[in-house]
Amino acid sequence: MSTNKKSVIYKEKSAGKLIARRDFLKIAGVSISAIAIGGYAVTDIVKQRKSYIRLRQQGLYKDDKRLQKVNLTGSHQNPSVLKVYEDLSTEPMGEVAEQLLHTKTYVDRNNLILQGAGHA
């Protein structure tokens, strides 16, 4: 019985020759471009979000000032709400009001689509 053994020679490329300089620059350029474009998009989204938050704050402050002028700084001072409390024979934060008017259910409103609603 004879066994034929073929000799195989493995050569390893040097680390500097695995990727050419030109290929490295192409890959680096594409990677940096993708990161820069993604960063710009995220920055733009954050700026828009901050703008919406600022507009919402301005609207809330405007409403607060308007309601302070007519002494309606809290919902329990509203004549309509006071009438409801009177009809229920309770007071704000009373036991009956707590059971009937306050809910313990959390509703996730992030995915709601409002009909006819729009943002500036």
Q: Indicate whether 24 belongs to any domain.
A: yes
Confidence of residue 116 (pLDDT cuts 50, 70, 90): low
Work out the average pLDDT over 67-90.
82
Task: Give the integer Cα–Cα distance in Å for 13 and 75.
Answer: 77
- Within 10 angstroms of residue 51's Cβ, the number of other Cβ atoms is 12
pTM of the model: 0.40
Same domain, 63 and 24: yes
Same domain, 23 and 39: yes
Residue 120 is predicted with a pLDDT of 45
Supply the DSSP string of 22-53, one letter for each residue. Answer: HHHHHHHHHHHHHHHHHHHHHHHHHHHHHHHH
Task: Give the integer Cα–Cα distance in Å for 13 and 10.
Answer: 10
Provide the CA 34 distance to its chain's centre, in angstroms. 22
Same domain, 63 and 80: no
Work out the average pLDDT over 35-46.
88
Average predicted confidence (pLDDT) for the chain: 80
Domain of residue 78 covers 74-107
Same domain, 23 and 67: yes
End-to-end CA gap in the chain: 88
- Please name which of 28, 51, 47, 49 lies closest in space to residue 39, comparing C-alpha atoms: 47
Same domain, 55 and 25: yes
Residue 30 is predicted with a pLDDT of 93
Work out the average pLDDT over 97-112.
73
Same domain, 88 and 42: no
Selection from 5-14, 53-62, 63-72, 86-95 with the highest mean pLDDT: 53-62
